[in-house]
C-alpha cells in the first residue's frame, strides 16, 4: 500500500486531485463516480450514485435534473455529502458541505459538451417520476430528436450543483483494520487537519 500522503498534505483539494488522477489510471469504470447523500427539509436522507464533472478550489460539481428527487431535496435542504470509493486503490474520500447552484452559463457549456444522444436523454427523462414503459421513454427520445435536428436547448430544470466543502476526509485501508484517516475541516480561508481513529 502506498504511503499515506494525507499526513503531510496542507491542501485537501490538491490532495484529492492527486488521488483522483491515480484513480483514473486504476479504476476500470467511472473513477468519477460518487455517492451523493441529500436530505429532505425534515431530515429524511437519500443516497444515490452520480458523476463528478469538475473539481476546483471552489468545490465539487455535478449535474442533474432539479425536478428529480435529489434536485428537489437540494433545493429544500441545500447541504450534501459525497463519498468516493476507489476499490482498486483501497481508498475513499468523504466530502460534506453546503450546496450552491452552478451558473446558467456553466450549465449551458456542460450540457452542450455532452453527446447529442445524452442531451436528448436528459430532456426525455422526467427523472424520478413514474414511467409507464421503456418504449414510452424511447418514443419520447425519438420525438425530441426529430424536434431538434440542430442545437438542442438546455432545459432550465437541468443544471449543475456545487458542493462547497467544509469537511474532507481521506481514508486508506490498513492491515488488521488499522486504517488511516485524516480529516480536513474548513477554517476561515484555510484548513485545519486532524488524524482520526479508524
pLDDT at 72: 97
Residue 100's beta-bridge partner residues? 162
- Of 2, 146, 194, 166, which is closest to residue 88 (Cα–Cα)? 2
- Separation of alpha carbons 4 and 8, rounded Å: 9
Residues 6+ apart with CB under 8 A from 147: none
CATH superfamily for 5-195 is Electron Transport, Fmn-binding Protein; Chain A (2.30.110.10)
- Separation of alpha carbons 42 and 39, rounded Å: 8
* Confidence (pTM): 0.94
Report the range out of 1-5, 13-17, 123-127 with the highest average pLDDT. 13-17
Q: Are 53 and 62 in contact (CB under 8 A)?
A: yes
Domain extents for the chain?
5-195
Question: What is the DSSP pairing of strand 45-51 with strand 33-39?
Answer: antiparallel
Task: Specify the DSSP class assigned to residue 138.
Answer: H
> Residue 161, SS3?
strand
Q: Is the pLDDT at 181 greater than 90, yes or no?
A: yes
Q: In this structure, what C-alpha cell is assigned to residue 128?
A: 424520478
Q: Are 197 and 161 in contact (CB under 8 A)?
A: no
Q: Is the pLDDT at 1 greater than 90, yes or no?
A: no
How many CA within 13 A on the CB side of residue 39? 13
Question: What average pLDDT score do residues 129-155 get?
Answer: 95
Residue 99's beta-bridge partner residues? 163
Give the count of beta carbons closer than 10 Å to the beta carbon of residue 156: 10
Q: Are 172 and 179 in contact (CB under 8 A)?
A: yes
Q: In this structure, what C-alpha cell is assigned to residue 48?
A: 444515490
Task: Specify the DSSP class assigned to residue 7.
Answer: G
Q: In this structure, what C-alpha cell is assigned to residue 121?
A: 436523454
Q: Is the pLDDT at 45 greater than 70, yes or no?
A: yes
Q: Is the pLDDT at 2 greater than 80, yes or no?
A: no
The distance from CA 88 to its chain's CA centroid, rounded to whole angstroms, is 20
- Separation of alpha carbons 62 and 163, rounded Å: 8
Amino acid at each position: 500500500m502506498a504511503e499515506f500522503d494525507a499526513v503531510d498534505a496542507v491542501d485537501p483539494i490538491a490532495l484529492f486531485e492527486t488521488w483522483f488522477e491515480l484513480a483514473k489510471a486504476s479504476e476500470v469504470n467511472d473513477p468519477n463516480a460518487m455517492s451523493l447523500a441529500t436530505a429532505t427539509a425534515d431530515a429524511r436522507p437519500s443516497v444515490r450514485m452520480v458523476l463528478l464533472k469538475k473539481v476546483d478550489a471552489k468545490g465539487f460539481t455535478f449535474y442533474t435534473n432539479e425536478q428529480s428527487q435529489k434536485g428537489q431535496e437540494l433545493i429544500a435542504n441545500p447541504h450534501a455529502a459525497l463519498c468516493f470509493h476507489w476499490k482498486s486503490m483501497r481508498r475513499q474520500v468523504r466530502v460534506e458541505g453546503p450546496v450552491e447552484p452552478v451558473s446558467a452559463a456553466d450549465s449551458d457549456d456542460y450540457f452542450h459538451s455532452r453527446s447529442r444522444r445524452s442531451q436528448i436523454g436528459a430532456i426525455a427523462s422526467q427523472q424520478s417520476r413514474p414511467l409507464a414503459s421503456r418504449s414510452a421513454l424511447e418514443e419520447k427520445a425519438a420525438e425530441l430528436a426529430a424536434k431538434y435536428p440542430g442545437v438542442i436547448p438546455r432545459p432550465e430544470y437541468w443544471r449543475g450543483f456545487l458542493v462547497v466543502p467544509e469537511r474532507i476526509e481521506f481514508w486508506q485501508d490498513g492491515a488488521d483494520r488499522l486504517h488511516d484517516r485524516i480529516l480536513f475541516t474548513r477554517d476561515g480561508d484555510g484548513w485545519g487537519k486532524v488524524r482520526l481513529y479508524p
